Structure 1
Amino acid sequence: MINIDALREKRSLGFRLPRFNRRQQTLITILLMIIFLSSVIVGGALLGNERIATNFETKNLSPSLKHPFGTDWLGRDMLTRTLKGITLSMGVGMLAATVSAFIALILGLLAATMGKWADTVVTWLVDLFLSVPHLVALILIAFALGGGMKGVIIGVAFTHWPSLTRVIRAEVLQLRSAEFIQVSKKMGKSRWWIAVKHILPHLIPQFFIGLMLLFPHAVLHEASITFLGFGLSPHQPAIGIILSESMRYLSTGMWWLAFFPGLSLLIMVRAFDILGDHLHMLMDPHHAHN
């Protein structure tokens, strides 16, 4: 008697999708996120400024095939403005997050290798900055520096390092008890030599993962203070500027001015968040080989 189910199973073997383990799924996700984010950056860089020039003949147009994100009150294409704003925010966020990550790396190394006094000072600084809300400290720093791109970058960089500093400090404290560190101490190597030659290479994965996870927060806080008027110049096509300007026109039914830029910002931030999480899974020995 012919087994119909067995024949169906054999026929479907050629159409069955390949099954990936967790490491392969992680690598595929990382690759897709890198391609997506790179496409956004390239698109924002290649689009010309003629589509964001004032053109009153095309003002206040709702989303269409010609203008997928619609146009604003000056006839500027909102898709172009959004892509350029996302690219600018990504650049500011990445620079600020990189500076913040380096601050965390240096302070974490100092706290765990330079003695009790250094650990006390760094721990006090971490507790001090964590006790103040990010946005409040950011606004104060940016306002004191006169706003603009410089004020935003410095403000974001000097308010986002404490959490990563704690992680790096804890990692270094674990490494200090390792056998190769103890051997170097018995051989008379200095604390600084041990920190640079032995400990620092082990912190590179933590540094890059922390950088990727800091970036979404940096972008959101940059957009927040720019939206409130303490950040980038109104002449720059930043997402915070676009959202701030759109608030005056929502009551007239021009919902697309805020919806598409805000949604694009959330998608971009979520993409970097996913990239950071999957990089952590890839570099974590508990997840990498599952």
Structure 2
Amino acid sequence: MSDAAEPIRARPARPRHPQRRAMRHGMIALALLGAVLAGAPLLPEGALSVDAAARALAPRPAHPLGTDLLGRDIAARTLAALAQSVQVGLLAAGASTLVALVLGLAATLGRAADHLVGGLTELALGLPHFVLLIMIAFAMGGGTAGVIVAVALTHWPRLSRVLRHEAQVIAASDYVAISRALGRSRLWVARHHLAPHLVPQIVAGFVVIFPHAILHEAGLSFIGLGIEPHLPSIGVMLAESLREIMAGHWWVAAAPGLGLMLVALIFERLGEALRRLSGPAGGTT
């Protein structure tokens, strides 16, 4: 029988490795984060300055992403604005994750504490999200501090619910019961038994909150309640670009919009990968 008559054997499917995929996404995200944070301070002096002779220039070798109506280089402003957004996002996501962890651990202190944390979480989840963001930022007077507080106080409920459930499962385990029988306090058990086992959920939750934090920072800055106007901000750049797009200056909005979307999508993918890894059976379900 000729070789052509031999049945074609299907190639075995390659095993999926979610750990490798998550590691790859993590390396890309960390490399991007490092490039943004390291590149912003290295901008040449005057890169963000107004230049009346270079107003509204289309992309060209001297200005790869063009300039705005004040002659400021779009590439330099976008890099500085992304660095500002990343810093705000890290602080806001870290604060929100800390709130979620404290409430998740507090729910294990007793039935009354559990009902209190559960009711507070459901109440926060039932409130209009962005409206609450605007109200808190307005009450704080806007600015960078207002954005951080607003995001920190509105992004904890979903992670808190996950941590609360995981903490209750761990608190019901045999080794926790033995520790309590040996006279260990609830605080000792929370610090030595509960918190270490919650690290995967904490890390995944932080990475999931981070892109939402920078997107909401841009949204608040867009309506004038975010980062101070004199600081570079993606939201401010997008707000300023509205009238320039009508004049045909499309490049003014393209760079900040695409940069923000790229950062958010990469960290969103990383968060999804980490969340699958922290689930049952290494996230293969």
Name the TM-score, length of structure 1 as normaliser.
0.89
SS at match of 2:68: coil
Q: Closer, same or farther in 2 for the Cα pair 1:251/1:274, shift >3 Å?
A: same
Instruction: Determine the C-alpha separation between the residues in 1 that align with 2:101 and 2:42.
Output: 35
Instruction: Determine the C-alpha separation between the residues in 1 that align with 2:235 and 2:41.
Output: 19
Provide the residue aligned with 1:140 in structure 2: 135
Provide the residue aligned with 2:53 in structure 1: 57
Provide the residue aligned with 1:183 in structure 2: 178
What amino acid sits opposite 2:59 in the alignment? P
TM-superposed CA distance for 1:24, in Å, is: 2.8
Q: Give yes or no for contact 1:135–1:225 (8 Å, CA) kept in 2.
A: no
Q: Closer, same or farther in 2 for the Cα pair 1:123/1:19, shift >3 Å?
A: closer
What is the 5 A alignment of 1:61-72? Answer: 61-72=57-68
TM-superposed CA distance for 1:142, in Å, is: 1.0
Instruction: Determine the C-alpha separation between the residues in 2 that align with 1:191 and 1:19.
Output: 43
Of residues 259, 268, 281 in structure 1, which corresponds to 2:263? 268
What is the 5 A alignment of 1:175-254? Answer: 175-254=170-249
Instruction: Determine the C-alpha separation between the residues in 2 that align with 1:239 and 1:145.
Output: 21
Unaligned runs of 5+ residues in structure 2 are 5-13
What is the 5 A alignment of 1:80-229? Answer: 80-111=76-107, 113-229=108-224
Q: Percent identity?
A: 41
Q: Give yes or no for contact 1:100–1:158 (8 Å, CA) kept in 2.
A: yes
TM-superposed CA distance for 1:28, in Å, is: 2.6
Instruction: Determine the C-alpha separation between the residues in 2 that align with 1:160 and 1:25.
Output: 26
Q: Give yes or no for contact 2:25–2:266 (8 Å, CA) kept in 1.
A: no
TM-superposed CA distance for 1:51, in Å, is: 1.5
Q: Deviations over 1:105-136 (max 9, x none)?
A: 0001001x111111122112112211212211
Provide the residue aligned with 1:77 in structure 2: 73
Unaligned runs of 5+ residues in structure 1 are 5-17
Q: Give yes or no for contact 1:23–1:289 (8 Å, CA) kept in 2.
A: no
Q: Closer, same or farther in 2 for the Cα pair 1:19/1:197, shift >3 Å?
A: closer
Q: Closer, same or farther in 2 for the Cα pair 1:281/1:124, shift >3 Å?
A: closer
Of residues 32, 51, 60 in structure 1, which corresponds to 2:28? 32
Q: Give yes or no for contact 2:208–2:271 (8 Å, CA) kept in 1.
A: yes
Q: Give yes or no for contact 2:276–2:284 (8 Å, CA) kept in 1.
A: no
Q: Closer, same or farther in 2 for the Cα pair 1:225/1:185, shift >3 Å?
A: same
SS at match of 1:75: coil
Q: CA RMSD in A?
A: 2.3
What amino acid sits opposite 1:240 in the alignment? G
Structure 1, 273-282 or 95-104: larger mean CA deviation: 273-282
Q: Give yes or no for contact 2:18–2:277 (8 Å, CA) kept in 1.
A: no
SS at match of 2:225: coil
Q: Give yes or no for contact 1:105–1:207 (8 Å, CA) kept in 2.
A: yes
What amino acid sits opposite 1:204 in the alignment? V
Q: Closer, same or farther in 2 for the Cα pair 1:19/1:97, shift >3 Å?
A: same
TM-superposed CA distance for 1:97, in Å, is: 0.7
Structure 1, 185-194 or 87-96: larger mean CA deviation: 185-194
Corresponding residue pairs, total = 278
Q: Deviations over 1:248-286 (max 9, x none)?
A: 211100111112111110001111112222333444462
Name the TM-score, length of structure 2 as normaliser.
0.90
TM-superposed CA distance for 1:20, in Å, is: 8.1
SS at match of 2:211: helix
TM-superposed CA distance for 1:21, in Å, is: 4.0
Q: Deviations over 1:53-112 (max 9, x none)?
A: 11111111111232121100111100000010010011011101100100000001001x
Instruction: Determine the C-alpha separation between the residues in 2 that align with 1:46 and 1:136.
Output: 37
Instruction: Determine the C-alpha separation between the residues in 2 that align with 1:45 and 1:78.
Output: 16
